[in-house]
C-alpha cells in the first residue's frame, strides 16, 4: 500500500465519519485523490466502518473475554456465532482454540450463557476475564511509512 | 437515555455502518434527520459513542502477525505497564482484566519476530510477573455486538 493510501486509511481509522474534505485538509492530499483512494480501499481491503460504543452506558456493563478449549470446536463456534451477546470471535493458535468477547446486562445472564456453552460444546476449559476498556482500534496504519 | 430502545436502534445502525448517511438512517429508523443529528452529537458528548472506527483486514495490509497477550505485573509496576501499553502504537486494543492477569493486549505486527521483540521491549521497561501469548489464526467475528438493527428490542 502506498504511503498516501495509508494516510487516508489512518484518518478513517481515527474517525470513519470524517468527511473527505477534512481528510484532504489533514493529510494535504488533494480532495479528488482522497476520493479515489477511499474508493480503492473499499474495493481492495474490505473495510467496515463501525462506531465503538460504551456499552455500560446503554445497559450492558458486563464485558467478558473467554479463552475456550472445546472438544467440539465447530459446535462451540456455531453456538457462539448464534448468540446476540457475541462481540468478537477469534481462532487462536495452540491449545486454547478460541477467544470470544461477549457482553451481558447482568451476571445471572452471563453465568447462564457460560453454562450453556459448556454443555453444548464439550468445553474442557474456559478461562473467563472481566474486561474494562482502555483503548480500542488504535493501531497506527502509517507506522511503516 | 430516555428512550433506550430508540437509541439502541440508532446505535445499531451506526455499528453496522458508521458512514451511513443521515438521510438513509432517517428512512430506516423513521426518525427525522435533525433529531438524528442531535442524538449523535449527544452520544458523543455523553461518551456513549466513543469512536467511529474503521475495521480493516490487517493481513491484507502486510501485518501477518496479530496476537492476544495476557500480561501481569507486580502491584508497584502495574500503572507503569498500563502506561507503556497505552502509548504503544502497535497495540490495537487494550483491556484491564482480572482473574490472575492485569491486561489483555491485542497487538499487530508484520511478523512473529516483531511480536517477540515487542514483548522483550515491554520487559525491558517493566518487570513482568507473567505473560501468555496467543496468535490469531482467523477472525470469525469483530465488533458484532449490537450491529444488527433487526434484533433491537427482541
Cite the residue boundaries of each domain of chain A with CATH code 3.30.70.920: 55-130
Residues A105-135 have pLDDT tens digits of 999 999 999 999 888 877 777 889 999 999 9
Q: Which of A77, A140, A144 sits opposite B140 (nearest CB)?
A: A77
> Which residue of B51, B66, B94, B100 is the best one to mutate when testing the A interface, meaning the one whose CB has the most A CBs within 10 A?
B51
pLDDT (0 to 100) of residue A122? 75
Lowest mean pLDDT among A44-53, A86-95, B92-101, B103-112: A44-53
* Cβ pair B66, B136 in contact under 8 A: yes
Domain definitions of chain B by residue range: 4-53, 58-135
Residue A63 pLDDT grade (very low, low, confident, very high; cuts 50, 70, 90): very high
SS3 B153: coil
Return d(Cα A81, Cα A88) in angstroms, integer: 9
How many Cβ contacts (< 8 angstroms) between chains A and B?
210
pLDDT (0 to 100) of residue B154? 58
Q: Does domain B58-135 have CATH number 3.30.70.920?
A: yes
CA separation, residue A9 to residues A122, B93, B106, B127 (Å): 42, 18, 20, 35
CA separation, residue B138 to residues A9, A91, A98, A99, B65 (Å): 22, 5, 10, 11, 11
Residue B106 pLDDT grade (very low, low, confident, very high; cuts 50, 70, 90): very high
Residues A77-99 have pLDDT tens digits of 999 999 999 999 999 997 779 99
> Quick check: A138 and B136 CB within 8 A?
no
SS3 B102: coil
Give the residue from chain B lying closest to A144, CA to CA.
Answer: B110
The residue among B55, B53, B103 whose CA lies nearest residue B78 is B103
Judged by a CB distance cut-off of 8 A, whether residue A59 touches chain B is yes
- Across the range A1-7, mean pLDDT stands at 85
Residues B2-50 have pLDDT tens digits of 688 899 999 999 999 999 999 999 999 999 999 999 999 999 999 999 9
Return d(Cα B151, Cα B154) in angstroms, integer: 6
pLDDT (0 to 100) of residue A143? 63
Judged by a CB distance cut-off of 8 A, whether residue A48 touches chain B is yes
As a whole number, the mean pLDDT across chain B is: 94
Return d(Cα B105, Cα B132) in angstroms, integer: 10
- Across the range B108-132, mean pLDDT stands at 96
Q: Which of B54, B92, B104 sits opposite A131 (nearest CB)?
A: B104
Q: Which of A45, A130, A134 sits opposite B56 (nearest CB)?
A: A45
Q: Which residues of B touch A127 (CB under 8 A)?
A: 99
pLDDT (0 to 100) of residue B70? 97
Return d(Cα B97, Cα A112) in angstroms, integer: 21
CA separation, residue A61 to residues A56, B96, B142 (Å): 4, 14, 19
Judged by a CB distance cut-off of 8 A, whether residue A128 touches chain B is yes
Residue A144 pLDDT grade (very low, low, confident, very high; cuts 50, 70, 90): low
Q: Regarding predicted confidence, which is higher, A131 or A3?
A: A131
Q: In this structure, which long-range contacts are made by residues A122-126, counting pairs with CB atoms below 8 Å and at least 24 apart in sequence? A: A122/A70, A122/A71, A122/A72, A122/A75, A123/A68, A123/A69, A123/A70, A123/A71, A123/A76, A124/A69, A124/A70, A124/A71, A125/A67, A125/A68, A125/A69, A125/A96, A126/A66, A126/A67, A126/A68, A126/A69
CATH, domain B4-53, list 3.40.30.10, 2.60.40.1930, 1.10.10.10, 1.10.490.10: 1.10.10.10
Shortest Cα–Cα distance, A49 to chain B (Å): 4
Shortest Cα–Cα distance, B54 to chain A (Å): 4
pLDDT surpassing 70 at residue B150: yes
Q: Which residues of A touch B42 (CB under 8 A)?
A: none
Return d(Cα A80, Cα A58) in angstroms, integer: 22
pLDDT (0 to 100) of residue A41? 83
Q: Does domain A3-50 have CATH number 1.10.10?
A: yes
Angle between helices B22-29 and B33-46 (to 10 degrees): 100
Residues A30-56 have pLDDT tens digits of 999 999 998 888 787 778 899 999 999
Q: Which fold has domain A55-130?
A: Alpha-Beta Plaits (3.30.70)
Cite the residue boundaries of each domain of chain A with CATH code 1.10.10: 3-50
The residue among B138, B71, B59 whose CA lies nearest residue B104 is B71
Q: Which residues of B touch A49 (CB under 8 A)?
A: 17-19, 52-55
Amino acid at each position: 500500500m502506498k504511503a498516501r493510501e495509508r494516510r487516508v486509511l489512518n484518518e478513517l481509522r481515527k474517525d470513519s465519519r470524517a468527511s473527505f474534505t477534512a481528510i484532504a485538509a489533514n493529510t494535504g492530499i488533494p480532495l479528488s485523490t482522497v476520493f479515489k483512494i477511499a474508493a480503492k480501499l473499499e474495493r481492495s481491503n474490505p473495510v467496515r466502518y463501525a462506531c465503538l460504543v460504551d456499552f455500560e452506558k446503554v445497559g450492558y456493563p458486563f464485558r467478558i473475554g473467554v479463552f475456550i478449549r472445546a472438544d467440539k470446536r465447530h459446535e462451540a463456534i456455531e453456538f457462539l456465532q448464534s448468540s446476540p451477546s457475541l462481540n468478537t470471535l477469534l481462532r487462536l493458535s495452540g491449545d486454547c482454540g478460541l477467544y470470544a468477547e461477549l457482553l451481558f446486562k447482568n451476571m445471572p445472564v452471563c453465568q447462564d450463557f457460560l453454562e450453556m456453552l459448556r454443555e453444548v460444546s464439550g468445553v474442557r476449559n474456559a478461562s473467563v476475564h472481566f474486561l474494562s476498556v482502555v483503548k480500542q482500534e488504535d493501531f497506527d496504519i502509517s507506522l511503516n511509512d | 437515555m430516555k428512550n433506550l430502545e430508540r437509541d439502541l436502534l440508532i446505535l445499531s445502525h451506526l455499528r453496522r455502518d458508521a458512514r451511513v448517511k443521515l438521510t438513509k438512517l432517517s428512512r430506516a429508523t423513521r426518525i427525522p434527520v435533525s433529531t438524528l443529528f442531535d442524538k449523535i452529537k449527544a452520544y458523543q458528548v455523553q461518551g456513549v459513542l466513543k469512536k467511529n472506527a474503521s475495521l480493516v483486514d490487517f493481513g491484507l495490509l502486510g501485518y501477518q502477525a496479530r496476537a492476544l497477550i495476557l500480561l501481569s505485573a507486580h502491584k508497584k509496576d502495574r500503572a507503569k505497564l498500563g502506561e507503556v501499553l497505552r502509548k504503544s502504537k502497535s497495540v490495537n486494543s487494550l483491556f484491564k482484566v482480572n482473574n490472575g492477569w492485569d491486561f489483555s493486549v491485542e497487538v499487530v505486527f508484520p511478523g512473529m519476530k516483531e511480536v517477540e521483540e515487542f514483548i522483550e521491549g515491554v520487559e525491558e521497561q517493566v518487570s513482568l510477573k507473567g505473560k501468555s501469548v496467543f496468535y490469531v489464526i482467523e477472525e470469525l467475528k469483530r465488533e458484532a455486538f449490537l450491529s444488527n438493527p433487526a434484533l433491537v428490542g427482541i
